[in-house]
Structure 1
Amino acid sequence: MNISQAADRLSRELPCHRVEILQGRLTATPHADGTHALILTRLITTFHAAGARQAGLKYLQAIGLWLPTGPDDFAIPDFSLVAADFQNSHVENNCYAPTSFRMVVEVTWSHWSDDLGTKAECYAQAGIPVYLVADRRHDEAVLHTDPTEAHTAPARPSSAARPSPSPNPSASPSNSPLTASSTGTKAEPAEPFPGHVTFRHTFE
């Protein structure tokens, strides 16, 4: 049995868990609590009020994101902002190419270290323009931007405890979360996010 088959089996045996393969490692996250759900609901209402659909975007929960970090790697972000035609970029196993994603959000729960570290690396290598972590453990919101600008940055986890630079305001328009076009081509690996800024916030 390979890791992809093991993930399928685990999904069937643990229906209330979110099963992912991150950097060749199989993970299963248990069903989250009410605060987690409330944060996601606020994101939906915020993006609706901001006119995301009018800008040619859609916002979704728990949609599969195919990752370039391994042959079977995929993630299921808590919240994603995607191109309106994202369904044209289907890869396999209900996962879609990272080129359709404009922003992903994770709300920390039991596997908070994956959200802060491993997924920051995975999403940067996938070329996701914006990655936001609602870090409930440390009462912080961690914003990662400009993944393709860091051509010389070493591969390392992003930590909410480390001082971080502000996002680059002169980033290429192709990295903007409001760019609505997409393709079905799998993204080439990029270096980790150079833009990394942390905000204090209490989630409730």
Structure 2
Amino acid sequence: MTPSTADHAQMSVKEFEQIAHHTPETVTLEFINGKLEVKHVPDGAHDEIIMWVADQCMQSRAELRLYRERGLKVETYRNGRARPDGALAPRGHFANHGEWSDPGGVLMVTEVTSYDGDTHSRDRKEKRDGYAAADIPVYLLIDRDSNELVVYTDPRNGAYKARRSHPFGATVTLPDPVAITLDTDELKNYIS
């Protein structure tokens, strides 16, 4: 049996953090499942979707903020580093954090799929599993390929035990601790 990349990481977390720290702002790096990954620059519709999520969250729960591209320590023993499109946490939660935060206190992470070749493994598998391993209660995947919201909940033993999908246009209530209802009809405007 061939060892997984996680068993033989390309580099240490410390080496990754040094590289990521010195990378120009035009490039975003992540360290998922022992691999260095480049996060693609989002398109305009991607940005609109994240702003839509942020607006919905603030309108429903003014004490929360959706932090964009917040560096989080994920995966088992926090050996991964991810920058979700959005991390929902109480206002001021990250005030005294460095570049990479422990995910404790994050209520939800959001990813919007990109139109690139590795979105399937990155957003639908690797990041999902990293967020579950970090015990983030809700993972909201806005999947532009299937035109649906996928809500993952109940993280246990490194995996989300519940998965519900909803087509764009549906009214979706995100479970506790998020407790926000999303009217997703607007998302139809942002699909190709």
TM-score strictly above 0.5 = yes
Q: Deviations over 1:40-92 (max 9, x none)?
A: 11111111111231xxx3221110111143664110000111134523773x5
Distance 1:11 1:137 in 2: 32
> In the alignment, which of 33, 36, 39 is matched to residue 29 of structure 1?
39
**SS of residue paired to 1:95:** coil
TM-score, normalising length: structure 1: 0.68
The corresponding residue for 2:145 is 137
Mapped partners of 2:79, 2:22: distance in 1? 18
- Greater share of strand residues, 1 or 2? 2
> In the alignment, which residue of structure 1 is the partner of 2:89?
82
Mapped to 2, the partners of 1:34 and 1:84 lie a distance apart of 26
Give ranges in structure 2 of 5+ residues lacking alignment: 1-9, 169-187
What pairs with 1:152-191 in structure 2 (closer than 5 Å)? 190-191=157-158
Q: How far apart in 1 are the matches of 2:100 and 2:17?
A: 13
Equivalent of residue 112 in structure 1, options 105, 119, 124? 119
Letter in 2 for 1:75: A
Whether contact under 8 Å (1:89, 1:96) holds in the other structure is no
Shift of 1:199: 1.4
- Moved >6 Å (runs of 4+): none
**Matched residues in 2 for 1:70 and 1:13: separation?**
25
Partner of 2:101: 96
Return the TM-score normalized by structure 2.
Answer: 0.72
Residues 194/203 of structure 1: CA separation in 2 closer, same or farther (3 Å cut)? farther
Q: How many residues align?
A: 158
Identity of aligned residues (%): 25
Q: CA deviation at 1:15?
A: 3.4
Q: Aligned Cα RMSD in Å?
A: 2.4
> Which has the higher relative contact order, 1 or 2, with Cα contacts under 8 A spaced 6 or more apart?
1
Task: State whether structure 2 residue 45 is matched by structure 1 residue 45.
Answer: no
Structure 1 alignment gaps of length 5 or more = 149-189
CA distance in structure 1 between the aligned counterparts of 2:106 and 2:163, rounded to whole angstroms: 19
Give the Cα separation in 2 of the matches to 1:80 and 1:36.
15
1:66 equivalent in structure 2:
73
